[in-house]
């Protein structure tokens, strides 16, 4: 492949027009949309309007005048079609960690005779930590059973109350079989919560077809909602009735402005609300989601797969010392490329110094997010060229590239 070939792929790319909808800095190749999505132009305009007009001019009247109060539901309705969820099943609130806590509480209460939470040993730490946290808070002898991905089916036995899994692994990009694992959990009489942080907006998800019970996911990665964007939570229609979770904040109450003495949960997914919604962040996420209005996520995944093929083929030729951790079979992965190198941190800092932004995960992994809305084949080709130069020259081997920052 040459740069001319990559440019030709960009000219015939049916998704190429999306790039203009993002504000991207000159001279940067952004390969970290799996961690923080790029800035959609619509979010700039929307946040500025919300700040100056809705907050600045209309002040508190905006809760009604601009319907701030229902933003968690409205934004949830926009996310629903991206994850195969029907109307009234998705709410945007809090962070993914907090939503995991709420849904674990709901699920455990629906399996009162069982005491085991199963999760993947290599799951994102918050999923494992929150599972342990709720188990000890309940004080009823709940335990967390960690299993490697390959042996999950064997770990899902008839003592399991809840299975909490992330579809696409944050470190390797490997993808679990949602359909099969959900069926295995149901077979064992357990409920399932799917963490879709690395799936939502990256690839087609069909929660209804997989019969998942619950799901969570974040707004700031592939959904491009901005740093600290609130997360979403999904509840299957069959679990919406009598939904009750323990973070009984006033905005999850059936009648928040009645200021009643006792707590009564709101109807359906509204029961997952807790406190005052972050209006600025929600507005940014709301505007960001317009990018997806007519988007075909199957086409998005297939461009990500083509970007993957280009990047990994170039790296095989240019960087023989890098080990590819992500599965080669497109069905078995999400849309990131993970590479292993003993000095991965320093190599990534050297790349960032050359304008190619990816990230690092302990202990030796470089991650590159392939986000088809704003990445061109030419960008990915150039990123591989620069990585090849850095590896060949040893340019990463400098003290300043080995200084660990607080956020890595």
22 is catalytic: no
Footprint (CB under 6 A) of ligand PLP, residues 202-221: 218
Binding mask 51-90 for ligand PLP (x = CB under 6 A): ----------------------------------------
Smallest separation, CB 197 to ligand PLP (Å): 4
Contact between residue 356 and residue 339 where contact means Cβ atoms under 8 Å apart: no
User: For residue 30, which phi and psi values (nearest 5 degrees)?
Assistant: -95, 105
Nearer to ligand PLP, 252 or 334 (CB): 334
Which of 13, 32, 94, 195 does the annotation list as catalytic? 195
Query: Taking contact as CB under 6 A, which single stretch among the options 134-142, 177-185, 190-198, 373-381 is the one that binds ligand PLP?
Result: 190-198
Smallest separation, CB 200 to ligand PLP (Å): 11
Which of 124, 170, 292, 374 does the annotation list as catalytic? 124
Crossing angle of helices 377-393 and 297-318, rounded to 10° = 30
Other beta carbons within 10 Å of 242: 9
The maximal CA–CA distance of the chain, rounded, in angstroms, is 69
Nearer to ligand PLP, 96 or 119 (CB): 96
How is 318-375 classified by DSSP, letter by letter?
H-TTPEE-S-SSGGGB-SEEEEE-TTHHHHHHHHHHTTEE-EEETTTEEEEE--TTT-
Q: Report how far apart, in Å, the C-alpha atoms of 305 and of each of 89, 182, 216, 235, 328 are.
A: 30, 25, 24, 30, 10
The dihedral of CA 294, 296, 299, 300: what is its sign?
positive
Query: Taking contact as CB under 6 A, which single stretch among the options 123-131, 271-279, 356-364, 374-382 is the one that binds ligand PLP?
Result: 123-131
Helix residue ranges per DSSP H, 168-229? 178-187, 207-210
Binding mask 218-247 for ligand PLP (x = CB under 6 A): x------------x----------------
220 is catalytic: yes
Which of 73, 171, 221, 273 does the annotation list as catalytic? 221
The dihedral of CA 79, 82, 87, 90: what is its sign?
negative
Q: How far is CA 149 from the centre of its chain?
A: 19
Nearer to ligand PLP, 233 or 300 (CB): 233
367 is catalytic: yes
Binding mask 338-367 for ligand PLP (x = CB under 6 A): ------------------------------
Binding mask 156-175 for ligand PLP (x = CB under 6 A): ----------x---x-----
What one-character DSSP code corresponds to residue 213? S
Nearer to ligand PLP, 198 or 382 (CB): 198
Smallest separation, CB 212 to ligand PLP (Å): 15
Which of 214, 220, 292, 381 does the annotation list as catalytic? 220
Distance separating alpha carbons of residues 99 and 288, to the nearest angstrom? 21
Among 30, 68, 101, 124, binds ligand PLP (CB under 6 A): 124
For the record, the structure tokens of 304 come out as 């990500």
Nearer to ligand PLP, 62 or 123 (CB): 123
For the record, the structure tokens of 227 come out as 């740093």
For the record, the structure tokens of 331 come out as 């069905």
Footprint (CB under 6 A) of ligand PLP, residues 92-111: 95-97
Among 118, 128, 147, 197, binds ligand PLP (CB under 6 A): 197
Residues with Cβ within 8 Å of residue 390, at least 6 apart in sequence:
347, 350, 351, 354, 396
Query: Taking contact as CB under 6 A, which single stretch among the options 121-129, 261-269, 299-307, 331-339 is the one that binds ligand PLP?
Result: 121-129
Contact between residue 336 and residue 368 where contact means Cβ atoms under 8 Å apart: yes
Count of residues that bind ligand PLP according to CB under 6 A: 13
Distance separating alpha carbons of residues 37 and 360, to the nearest angstrom? 16
Smallest separation, CB 127 to ligand PLP (Å): 6
Q: For residue 22, state whether it binds ligand PLP (rule: CB under 6 A).
A: no
∠ CA 278-19-92, nearest 5°, is: 20
For the record, the structure tokens of 365 come out as 């992994």
Among 13, 54, 195, 213, binds ligand PLP (CB under 6 A): 195
Contact between residue 270 and residue 73 where contact means Cβ atoms under 8 Å apart: yes
Query: Active-site positions?
Result: 124, 195, 220-221, 367
Contacting residues toward ligand PLP, per CB under 6 A: 95-97, 124, 126-127, 166, 170, 195, 197-198, 218, 231
């Amino acid at each position: 492949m040459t740069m001319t070939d990559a440019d030709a792929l960009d000219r015939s790319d049916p998704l190429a027009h999306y790039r203009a909808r993002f504000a991207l800095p000159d001279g940067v190749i952004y390969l970290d949309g799996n961690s923080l999505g790029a800035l959609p132009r619509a979010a700039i305009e929307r946040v500025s309007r919300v700040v100056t007009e809705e907050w600045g001019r209309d002040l508190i009247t905006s809760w009604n005048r601009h319907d701030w109060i229902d933003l968690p539901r409205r934004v949830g309705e926009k996310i629903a079609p991206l994850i195969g969820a029907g109307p009234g099943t998705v709410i945007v609130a809090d962070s993914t960690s907090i939503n995991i806590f709420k849904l674990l509480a709901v699920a455990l209460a629906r399996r009162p005779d069982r005491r085991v939470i199963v999760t993947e040993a290599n799951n994102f730490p918050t999923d494992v930590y929150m599972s342990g946290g709720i188990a000890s808070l309940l004080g009823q002898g709940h335990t967390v059973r960690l299993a490697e991905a390959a042996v999950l089916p064997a770990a899902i036995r008839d003592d399991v109350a809840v299975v909490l899994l992330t579809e696409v692994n944050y470190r390797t990009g490997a993808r679990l079989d949602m359909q099969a694992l959900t069926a295995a959990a149901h077979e064992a009489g357990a409920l399932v919560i799917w963490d879709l942080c690395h799936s939502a907006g990256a690839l087609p998800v069909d929660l209804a077809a997989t019969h998942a019970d619950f799901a969570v996911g974040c707004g700031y990665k592939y959904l491009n909602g901005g740093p600290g964007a609130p997360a979403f939570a999904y509840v299957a229609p069959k679990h919406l009735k009598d939904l009750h979770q323990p973070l009984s904040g006033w905005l999850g109450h059936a009648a928040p402005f009645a200021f009643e003495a006792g707590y009564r949960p709101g109807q359906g997914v509204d029961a997952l609300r807790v406190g005052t919604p972050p209006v600025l962040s929600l507005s940014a996420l709301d505007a960001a989601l317009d990018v997806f209005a007519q988007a075909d996520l199957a086409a998005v995944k297939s461009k990500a797969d083509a970007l993957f093929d280009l990047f990994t083929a170039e790296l095989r030729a240019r960087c023989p010392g890098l080990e590819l951790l992500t599965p080669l079979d497109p069905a078995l992965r999400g849309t990131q490329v993970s590479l292993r190198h003993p000095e991965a941190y320093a190599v990534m800092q050297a790349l960032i110094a050359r304008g190619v932004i990816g990230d690092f995960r302990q202990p030796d992994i470089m991650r590159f997010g392939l986000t088809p809305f704003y990445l061109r084949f030419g960008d990915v080709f150039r990123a591989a060229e620069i990585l090849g130069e850095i590896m060949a020259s040893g340019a990463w081997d400098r003290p300043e590239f080995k200084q660990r920052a607080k956020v890595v």
